[in-house]
Structure 1
Amino acid sequence: MTRARIFAVASALTVVSASPALGQPSMIPDFPGVYVSVWVGAVEVVTPPTVYPMTDSARQAYEAFDPFVSDPRRINDCAPEKVPTLLWTANPIEIDVQSDRIDMRYEEGGSSRVIWMNRAAPPPDQSYTAVGYSVGRWEGGALVVETTHMDSPTIVNDVGHPLSRDAVLTERYWKEPGETTLRLEYQIDDPVNYTETLSFSRIWEPSETEQVQPWECVNLGTRDDSEPPDFDELTRMLEELE
């Protein structure tokens, strides 16, 4: 569990502008830092598609979805958060740019991703994981990331729009000239479940005061667990939030 956050504005981020020599390490846009969410609706930080054009099988899976059965995070806040659900997080994120990789740390679930900047494709024996396998490249002043090998069964944990293992997630991060806002547009291509590409967008503001905090989580267990949940620990954590 973590503290609720609603941020509207934060302090400045220094970004190196793009140039024709962008491929040189010294000219790569400088995206490191901590970012906080900007809300685009009453309860949303992401602008989703207006329509999800589902295949027949996807529609059946969507209508049969039960989050209390299919979403482990309903009772286990310590369960791994998955991509692409992580892109919906309202908690802070941190970006660290290195020569051969970009590390993205998320407060949500204590999750982290590695974006490989020196690889064109995943290795042949790449396994499917919670965050998938990501390769990135610079296009002008934008960071473009392609992720495959995601083992999430849905686009968002508790909603139920299905996601197949053939799905490809493409993210584009950038900032407009003269702005500090970090913008993201991302698309999901999954012909198994959708007849068209799905498009999403969101923004963050940089912060010099926020940090990515440790994820304090609670597992309430299941009806099959032999050990009861630790309600004393849950009470302690709730008291700390007051």
Structure 2
Amino acid sequence: MSIATAQAQPAGKPTTITGLTGMWFMEQNDFEGQVEPPYKPETRAMVEKREAEENAGKVIDDETQVCEPVGVPGMMLSEFPLEILETPGRITIISEMSPLARTIYLNRTKATEGLPPMYNGYSIGHWEGETLVVETENFNDTGFPFRFGNAVHSATTRLTERISLSEDGKVLVDEMTLHDPRYLTDSYKIVRHYNRLPEDSELWESPCMVGWKDDPTAK
């Protein structure tokens, strides 16, 4: 389905868009040939230390072992499928790997006041022709900042996305540009492609198993 009719709407006016709604699965080849982000020297040292600990089999702080939500941009970078739902004024993204749905607000210009920092941050989007432009800030500072595809997630992260569809509507492209003055010397771009799944596709439940290390049958 084409989103050729999706045009920018006046600020504050709810928008209904068609075309993105559906189930999507990331192209696995996108994991290949990843380029290292422009780390600051101290950041590179931190990443290398963690990698060395993992390779040595040393037990380190692994957020998945305590069922901490992966948040954004991690949920957009995993191998689990996504479901996108479009309703007036907002776009909702659900990931099979995350318990937290992501909301992109289309009729707001700033975040709600008083919100605490969040795993998914706060996303505000607008249409530039056929491209959905999303700005996300207000992230929390929980977990290691480079868990998925070298993607930053920290309290100083700002994420800019340009989301579009192929002409035949079968491929969704998300160009993610990450900014983080604490960890990076410059912005860093990640591009991911998602193939549209059949209309009757469904998300499976993938519950996190709290305390799985205490289960003698766990592998």
Post-superposition CA distance 1:73-117 (Å, at most 9, x none) = 1x34x3312222112111111111111111100001333111111
Find the aligned partners of 2:155 and 2:15 in 1 and give their Cα distance.
37
- Map of 1:1-242 to 2, 5 A cutoff? 14-18=1-5, 22-23=8-9, 28-40=17-29, 44=31, 48=34, 50-65=35-50, 66=53, 68-73=59-64, 75-76=65-66, 78-151=67-140, 152-157=142-147, 163-207=153-197, 208-220=199-211, 229-231=214-216, 234=218
How far is the alpha carbon of 1:163 from its aligned partner?
4.4
User: Would you say the 8 A contact 1:62–1:162 is kept in 2?
Assistant: no
Q: Deviations over 1:177-201 (max 9, x none)?
A: 2342111110101122111110001
SS at match of 1:58: helix
* Alpha-carbon spacing, 1:37–1:71, altered in 2? closer, same or farther (3 Å): same
Per the alignment, do residues 94 and 59 of structure 1 end up closer, same or farther by CA in structure 2, a change over 3 Å counting? same
- Asked whether the equivalents of residues 54 and 195 of structure 1 are also in contact (C-alpha less than 8 Å), the reply is yes
Alignment-mate amino acid for residue 146 of structure 1: E
- Structure 1 gap segments, 5+ residues each: 1-13, 223-228, 236-242
Q: Which has the larger radius of gyration?
A: 1
Cα contact 2:17–2:86 (8 A) shared by 1 = no
Residue 2 of structure 2 contacts residue 168 of structure 2 at CA under 8 Å; is this kept in 1?
no
Tell me the distance in 2 between the aligned counterparts of 1:173 and 1:18: 15
Distance in 2, matches of 1:150 and 1:170, equals 13
Identity within the alignment, %: 23
Could you tell me how far apart the structure 2 residues matched to 1:193 and 1:180 are? 35
For structure 2, list consecutive stretches of 5 or more residues without a partner in the other structure. none
**Pairs aligned (count):** 208
| TM score, norm. by length of structure 1 | 0.74
- 2 CA distance for matches of 1:203 and 1:95? 14
